Chain A
Amino acid sequence: MSHNASRWLSGHRKALVIITAAALGSVPLAASAASRTQSPGIPAAAVRQLTASALSVATSGGDAKPEWVKAVTTTREKALRVATPGDLVPGAASQTVYLVVMEGQFTLNSAPRPPRAHAPTGHYLAVTFNPVTFQVMDLGLSNQAPPASLGSLGLVSNLTQRK
């Protein structure tokens, strides 16, 4: 694609996305009637693998024994509001994920970041996993508790509990 064509496309995409962003902005983050529909719990057969994957992420974040680790099955779109609030990913509404949230003392030394940024730290690590491959799809780290409770998304599985 030529440079000019690329820039033209970019301009059009920008316009489209402004409309999209405006539309998304009108959607309240509070649970709607549809989102209050409970998702099914995490299958027992998946709990062991999910627990291992979640603890692997916790370990790489510097806390191998989080205070608690909880998980729920939901759409990626709803999970993003909990795990990475403020971030939007196209197509997320049609994807099912396992959302895991844990509390601990985390530092992501290996997180990619610009030269002047420090390693991210936080108490709440939230991760979405592909329910088939258990690969991490999204990750968020914050000092503030997630803006929505996992219980509002579905049946919560308690993966580990230290206390």
Chain B
Amino acid sequence: MAVLGAVGMVTTWKAPAAFACDDGANNHCYAIANNHSLETGVYGQLYITCMYAPNNVNAGYFATNEVWNGSTDGLYFTEGGVFSGAANGNYYSKSWFWADQRPNGGGYHEHPGGGTPNTGTRYPVEIVWAGNNTWNIYGGNSDTLIGQSTSQPLTVTNDMDAGTEYTVPSGKGMRNVGSINELQYLATSGTWTFWGTRGGADPELGPGAYITPGYSSSNNFVTWTGPC
């Protein structure tokens, strides 16, 4: 499948559907744009048109609007944004969260319950290098520091993504339309720069994925349109 990377147009991918987004360990679905480069920060403005995952704790249904920063092998990462759905025996209508993972004794960490955002509002979210193997996560309704992830080496974090992750199969009641605007990376020189042609839409990821991402290299946003 060819990459559609023309400047100034919204590019999309389409993959055949099979199985379901929630049917196993590695079967979450995604509609995202990516920027695979070694940088020191990722910034975007979350916009939620609609976002809802049914309250099904057993199935673990959820949807997000978020950014990720980490290693291409997925061993190291930090992420921050808005979560809707079931997690750890709780249900969140819409809630700010952040999470991270690091190997070698660190493990997986999650911090839900950071306040409730509104639909139809742009919210900045940012993951930025702070030195000493530390990344700061900014977000929330007031654009504040919501967490710090330490022991995350800079040299392994060469993958940033922005978009939605979801575990609700098609036809099960999820509502999920949104975008992440003003996508920027913090270059190692210390300058914030728009993603431009460094970014690109991923294909629909996950078995049974049914939301197609679109990326605009001229306007630096990723958008997705699921049920609403």
Q: Is B one of A's binding partners? A: yes
Residues of A within 8 A of B113 (CB): 130, 135-137
A13-B145, A86-B149, A115-B202 given as contacts; is B112 within 8 A of A110 (CB)? no
A17-B145, A21-B132, A60-B88 given as contacts; is B109 within 8 A of A114 (CB)? no
Query: B211 an interface residue at 8 Å Cβ cutoff?
Result: no
Q: Per a CB cutoff under 8 Å, which of B68, B102, B106 touches A114?
A: B68
Residues of B within 8 A of A22 (CB): 132
Residues of A within 8 A of B89 (CB): 53, 56-57, 59-60, 136
Determine the distance from Cα of A109 to Cα of B70 in the docked complex, in whole angstroms: 19
- B8: shortest Cβ distance to chain A, in Å? 20
Determine the distance from Cα of A88 to Cα of B86 in the docked complex, in whole angstroms: 24
Seen from chain B, the residues whose Cβ lies within 8 Å of a Cβ on chain A are 22, 24-26, 28, 30, 32, 43, 57, 60, 62, 64, 66, 68, 70, 72-75, 77, 79, 83, 86-90, 97, 99-102, 105-113, 124, 126, 128, 130-132, 134, 136, 138, 143-151, 159, 161, 165, 167, 182, 192, 202, 205
Residues of B within 8 A of A130 (CB): 113
Query: A43 an interface residue at 8 Å Cβ cutoff?
Result: no
Q: Per a CB cutoff under 8 Å, which of A10, A89, A107, A109 touches B43?
A: A10
Query: A28 an interface residue at 8 Å Cβ cutoff?
Result: no
Cβ-defined contact, A86 with B111, below 8 A: no
Cβ-defined contact, B136 with A17, below 8 A: yes
A17-B145, A60-B57, A136-B112 given as contacts; is B97 within 8 A of A112 (CB)? yes
Query: A141 an interface residue at 8 Å Cβ cutoff?
Result: yes
Determine the distance from Cα of A17 to Cα of B131 in the docked complex, in whole angstroms: 9
User: What is the number of contacts between chain A and chain B, taking CB atoms within 8 Å?
Assistant: 182
Binary B-proximity of A122-163 (CB < 8 A = 1, otherwise 0): 100001001000011111111110000000000000000000
Q: Per a CB cutoff under 8 Å, which of A116, A135, A144 touches B105?
A: A144
Cβ-defined contact, A137 with B111, below 8 A: yes
Q: Per a CB cutoff under 8 Å, which of B26, B70, B106, B165 touches A118?
A: B26
For chain A, residues 1 to 55, give those with C-beta under 8 angstroms from any C-beta of chain B.
1, 3, 6-7, 10, 13-14, 17-18, 21-22, 25, 53
Number of chain A interface residues as a range: 35 or more
Cβ-defined contact, B145 with A111, below 8 A: no
- B187: shortest Cβ distance to chain A, in Å? 12
Cβ-defined contact, A113 with B66, below 8 A: no
- A70: shortest Cβ distance to chain B, in Å? 18
Cβ-defined contact, A116 with B72, below 8 A: yes
Cβ-defined contact, A21 with B130, below 8 A: yes
Determine the distance from Cα of A111 to Cα of B205 in the docked complex, in whole angstroms: 16
Determine the distance from Cα of A114 to Cα of B66 in the docked complex, in whole angstroms: 10
Q: Per a CB cutoff under 8 Å, which of A25, A107, A110, A136 touches B167?
A: A110
For chain A, residues 90 to 126, give those with C-beta under 8 angstroms from any C-beta of chain B.
90, 107-120, 122
Determine the distance from Cα of A124 to Cα of B73 in the docked complex, in whole angstroms: 23
Cβ-defined contact, A144 with B90, below 8 A: no
Residues of B within 8 A of A118 (CB): 25-26, 74
Residues of A within 8 A of B134 (CB): 17, 21
